[in-house]
Amino acid sequence: MSSRIIGIDLGTTNSLVAYVDEATGLPRVIPDADGRPLLPSVVAFTPDGIVVGEPARRQLARRPADTVYSVKRLMGRGFEDVKDEARYLPFRILAGEGLVRLAVGGREVTPPEVSAVVLKALKERAERHFGESVEKAVVTVPAYFNDAQRQATKDAGRIAGLDVVRIVNEPTAASLAYGLHRLSEGVVAVYDLGGGTFDVSILRVKDGVFEVLATNGDTHLGGDDFDRVLALWLLEDIAARHHTELDRDCVDLARDPEAMQELRLAAEAAKIRLSSEERTTLTLPFAGFTYRREMTRADLERLVEPLVRRTLGPCRRALADAGLSAADIDEVVLVGGSTRVPLVRRRVQELFGKTPHSQLNPDEVVALGAAVQAHILAGGITNMLLLDVTPLSLGIESLGGIVNVLIPRNTTIPTSAREMFTTSADGQTLVDLHVLQGERELAKDCRSLGRFELRIDPMPAGMPKIEVTFLIDANGILQVQAKEQRSDKAASIEVKPTYGLNEAEVGRMIEDSFTYAEADVETRMLIEARNEADTVLVHAGRALKQGAHLVDVAERAAIETAVAALRAARSGDDRDRIHEATTAVNRATEHLAEVLMDAALKGALGSRRATEILGER
Ligand code: AMP
């Protein structure tokens, strides 16, 4: 068995795997066979099997109900926690008690199972790279993840066949990657704005020791929200400009999941282009018309400004918790794809009064840090120590529903705390212990992590001495034990998170993942071929609809024959035949595509002719 430990950034939008290169001592991201470092955290449940990464992302628009993205937002959470955002997700989230369940591809899955598919793909990527099996990983999570969310991440690892030897906060990992390059002394602010979450951490770096002084953030804020406001704005604009066509065809785009998904993807692409360009053109073909619009960076900034501002409050709160002011910060590190947005950089720079550090790739910095942590654990680096903090206070409910805090937030972990409790009634034999996480005074306002009962001998009220011990390990995962000291009988119990998976469930999921893995390997290529065929069929259909009158009868007949052949091939299981038929359709429609492009260009150059042609058909 290999002793190798890989570092994994399990992201909301994209995930990466990295390791430390023994030759150079530097962390490196492992790319896929095509040289792509990022694996989109998207999993599609198709009738033929499970597809992950780029092929799954490509079919988002076509199979919105069976394609899961942003699942990190659902990890370790219950239906009540996510029902607001569930409205924006095109796949079905089932109402019910306990851990959230999704209904996709004709079956029920939990978020850890979906994440496990992503982890497994990264594990296999690493195994191909090293030519040996890999069983251990360090996985990163947002600093704000609570106990249940961390547990869910560990469960995902187990389902994927990975022992998650350490869970590290993402900003901590980022600073670790950064520290490896510059072992200076000072205070670092790590600002991490990804696809779905925002974190900020204040860390002190001294003599190779990283100490997290404070963390803060918002688990519901990220680039996905930028895309959403932009997509809604586009939707209004389309409705205003094309209401005639929409009314004529009785189309309500807002109620069409496929159209909304296309819109979201187009919005994201435009947002990304506007990070490096001042203006961009959006072109979206719909059934009866083509929407085209010029957008400037200023337009985008106006829309996302309130979202960017929402990140500044947590930054100020983290500074206050660390007992520091902005002037005390020596370095600012940017993490996450959304920090490429120029407005984000400007606002961060204004707040901290420093030019943010951008030497490391913001997409890769967390994975690189995870690899460094993995290297430390494997014994490769000995002059570095990692100290993390617990982001929320932990306590026990006592009489009257009051929270008794045992471990206050921002306590350096691993840590433990002990406190004595007693009973309020004579002859009480059952003591109910309710473990809570949060900053509020009353139990009802805090998050319930779990309940357990302790059986004791009957005694007068106030006599039993019940010692409750909280133990947080280096992963930030909590164990609670209770012991009655006066009687000989003692009991100690481990708390399970309210939204955790039980052993039997994890066992079943591991089995399932093996069953489906076999199907995956065999069918992935076939599914990809079918996906490509579907895309080509949609494009060919659209081109014929828009421009059939622009080509002669023979050409049209050739296209129709090729399309019919591809449809026939697609319904079978012969991958080569599908590939050949796809290529044939591409070849047959080449000329028509050029003619349409010419027509569209003429339209764009002033005459409205192309738009009229496209619109009328
Ligand atoms: P992460 O969760 O760190 O992978 O970040 C993903 C988010 O970053 C997504 O919302 C992307 O749309 C966004 N993103 C990636 N590249 C860029 C870019 N160049 N400009 C703006 N946003 C980007």
The tens digit of pLDDT for each residue in 223-240 reads 999 999 999 999 999 999
Q: What angle do CA 318, 319, 321 make, to 5 degrees?
A: 65
For this structure, is 22 an active site residue?
Answer: no
Q: What is the length of the chain?
A: 617
Structure tokens at 340: 């490429």
Q: Is the pLDDT of residue 109 over 70?
A: yes
Q: Which residues of 233-242 are buried (b: 16+ CB within 10 A; e: fewer)?
A: bbbeebeeeb
For this structure, is 9 an active site residue?
Answer: yes
* CA 406 to ligand 1 centroid distance, Å: 39
Helix %, strand %, coil % of the chain (to 5): 45, 25, 30
Structure tokens at 591: 């000329």
In the chain, where does the domain assigned CATH 1.20.1270.10 lie? Answer: 517-616
Please tell me the least confidently modeled range out of 34-43, 402-411, 601-610: 601-610
Of 2.40.50.180, 3.40.50.80, 3.90.640.10, 3.40.50.300, which CATH number belongs to 223-303?
A: 3.90.640.10
**Integer Cα distance of 59 and 460 in angstroms:** 66
**pLDDT band, residue 462 (cuts 50/70/90):** confident
**Torsion of Cα atoms, 453 then 457 then 459 then 465, to 10°:** -60
Q: Indicate if ligand 1 lies below 6 Å from the C-beta of 199.
A: no
Cis peptide before 414 (omega within 30 of 0): yes
Q: Which residues are CB-neighbours of 569 under 8 A, at least 6 positions away? A: 533, 577, 578, 580, 581
Instruction: Please compute the mean of the pLDDT values over residues 18-45 and round it to a whole number.
Output: 93
Nearest protein CA to atom 16 of ligand 1, as residue: 337
In the chain, where does the domain assigned CATH 2.60.34.10 lie? Answer: 390-504
CATH assignment, 517-616: 1.20.1270.10
Strand partners, 201: 190, 215
Maximum C-alpha span of the chain: 98
Q: Can you give the pTM of this predicted structure?
A: 0.66
**pLDDT band, residue 478 (cuts 50/70/90):** confident
Q: Is the pLDDT of residue 321 over 60?
A: yes
In the chain, where does the domain assigned CATH 3.30.420.40 lie? Answer: 5-221+307-387
Q: Which of 32, 66, 72, 113 is flagged as catalytic?
A: 72
For this structure, is 574 an active site residue?
Answer: no
Q: Which of 170, 199, 227, 268 is flagged as catalytic?
A: 170
Nearest protein CA to atom 18 of ligand 1, as residue: 272
Is domain 390-504 in CATH 2.60.34.10, yes or no?
yes
In the chain, where does the domain assigned CATH 3.90.640.10 lie? Answer: 223-303
Q: Indicate if ligand 1 lies below 6 Å from the C-beta of 194.
A: yes
* CA 324 to ligand 1 centroid distance, Å: 30
Of 2.60.40.770, 3.90.1150.10, 3.30.590.10, 3.30.420.40, which CATH number belongs to 5-221+307-387?
A: 3.30.420.40
Q: Is the pLDDT of residue 494 over 60?
A: no
**pLDDT band, residue 159 (cuts 50/70/90):** very high
More confident call, 383 vs 530: 530
14 Cα nearest atom in ligand 1: 4
Q: Indicate if ligand 1 lies below 6 Å from the C-beta of 339.
A: no
The secondary element (H helix, E strand) that includes residue 188 is strand 186-193
Q: Is the pLDDT of residue 92 over 70?
A: yes
Most confident of the following: 103-112, 301-310, 371-380, 411-420: 301-310
* CA 268 to ligand 1 centroid distance, Å: 8
Q: Residue 255 is which amino acid?
A: R
Q: Which residues of 53-82 are buried (b: 16+ CB within 10 A; e: fewer)?
A: bebbbbbbbbbbebbbbbbbbbbbbbbebb
Write down the pLDDT at residue 533: 86
**pLDDT band, residue 68 (cuts 50/70/90):** very high
For this structure, is 236 an active site residue?
Answer: no
Nearest protein CA to atom 9 of ligand 1, as residue: 195
**pLDDT band, residue 612 (cuts 50/70/90):** very low
